[in-house]
Amino acid sequence: MSGPFDTAVTPEPRPAAARRVSLVRVGFVLLVVAALIAGGVRWTMAVISDVQAEQPLTAFAPYVDVTLTPTLHFEDSTQQPASHVILGFIVADSTYRCAPSWGTYYTLDAAARALDLDRRLVRLREIGGDATVSFGGAVNDELATVCFDTGQLTSAYQDVIDRYDLRAIDFDIEGAALGNVSANERRADAIKALQERNKELRVWLTLPVAPFGLTAEGVAIVDLMLARGVRLDGLNVMTMNYGGARAPGMSMAEASTLALTATWQQLDGAYRRAGVVKTQEELWGMIAATPMIGQNDIEAEVFTQKDARALVRFAQEVGLGRISTWSANRDVSCGVAVDDRRVSNTCSGVSQEPLEFARIFGEGAREEPAGDPGETVKRVDTAGRDDPRTSPYPLWRSAKAYEAESKVVWQGRVYQAKWYTQGDQPDAPVKNTWDTPWRYLGPVLESDREAVRAVVPVAPGSYQRWSGERVYVAGDTVEHDKQVFRAKWWTQGESPRADPDQPYDHPWEYVGDIPMAGK
């Protein structure tokens, strides 16, 4: 049977590190020569191995499910230690099909309010990290599949790039989207336009894979991208959920190694068909693996710590570009209260230490290029005292008690209580980050001024009274106590309030007062 492997070249392992000339390395070379002369072959090989290991080639960047509850604070190293993360997923809004949303739950503005996403990304960059945003995923509609105008589609992608000052984006194409030819063409044309507008923008594709490699539809998408002039920075394959394609008795690490090697062959073939020849090192450096840590969706597939270590060894051997995981939210044991047969979004389903997979994949990993903190996000000048008129949350007061998850502003910064606290100053010095009851989320931003509302009358009209029994979705408008409110996201049983203690966490947005009769 013919297939993508017919003209493939078998890749050889890549050296563990690419080295630049330096006095230190010249010194090592002299030592190597001396050792060879002396006949110390074993010692010499050990020295070479140490030199090669100085510069790791494989980066580590786990996926973070942004909308999942409880919130994973990717900007907090005690919850997520990697410096670079991939945030998922941007999909089409359920009402406005050419508008981007986070999982259909939040518009970009709503995510800033409800999740403090803008602020937390600024914080991640403050500490030297950065994020890639992923479009698509297994659930909901990737924008290109439902937004039929290429210009509007390009604008939707650009809105996300501008909002988060992105240097890298990812397109996770799976399920029915794989075979949607017209959507794939629109997406490729839009990405080409994005790269013309954003010269340094890095673009990754994420595709399903089996031990035999990409599906025919996946190969076709790579070919299409190259044919349309898209500059691909990487191809990430989902090394998970192999089903019948994995031979009985084959470990997840072995299946992943086969899948990655086959992907190398297919990527080499795609570039050759496009008239471009890349070295085997360049191709390996473009490939990423994303295993689903712990229990996979297929009951017989469990990706263990042993599999993780084996994948790291393979990655170092060939010079794999990146290892990701699905997901950082799951990097913890489930505990006794969870059914082991049910795949959880918030735990791995295997016995493990907290963040154990992150430690295995992250130890010695190469750092990805980071963004500049707040490059396009303006902060409020905090030279003076905190201003309650521009504050997104109440100002911290020493006499007030705060429950867990409460948010406050102190000295131009936003903090969130990790547990009940009273009298603990948010920025008080502590020996360890886990000693403080406060988590620093990021600075007060210029955009927070939008939280200051102007009270304006509402035009006369008919508004449905709010009911605690009814489900409301984003955009629904109701009357409550002679005031009009608009739902920011899905809500039920949460009463509208004109001045909630935490406006960004409240599902209702105040619109205005209903005019009095005769006015």
Which letter does DSSP use for residue 342 in this model? S
Q: Using CA atoms, how far apart are residues 423 and 416, in angstroms rounded to an integer? A: 14
Residues with catalytic function:
174
Please tell me whether residue 315 adopts helix, strand or coil conformation.
helix
Non-local (6+) Cβ contacts of 414 within 8 A are: 116, 119, 392, 393, 407, 408, 440, 441, 442, 443, 444
Q: Cα 259 to chain center, whole Å?
A: 23
Long-range contacts of 196-202 (CB under 8 A, 24+ apart): 197/158, 198/158, 198/161, 200/167, 201/161, 201/166, 201/167, 201/168, 201/169, 202/132, 202/167, 202/168, 202/169, 202/233, 202/234
Question: What one-character-per-residue DSSP string does 212-243 give?
Answer: TEE-HHHHHHHHHHHHTT----EEEEE----G
Contact between 252 and 307 (Cβ < 8 Å):
yes
Strands 302-303 and 294-295 come out as antiparallel
SS (H, E, C) 54-87: CCCCCEECCEEECCCCCCCCCCCCCCCCCCEEEE
CB distance 315 to 58 below 8 Å? yes
HSE-up (13 A, CA, CB side) for residue 398: 5
Would you call 464 helix, strand, or coil by DSSP?
Answer: strand
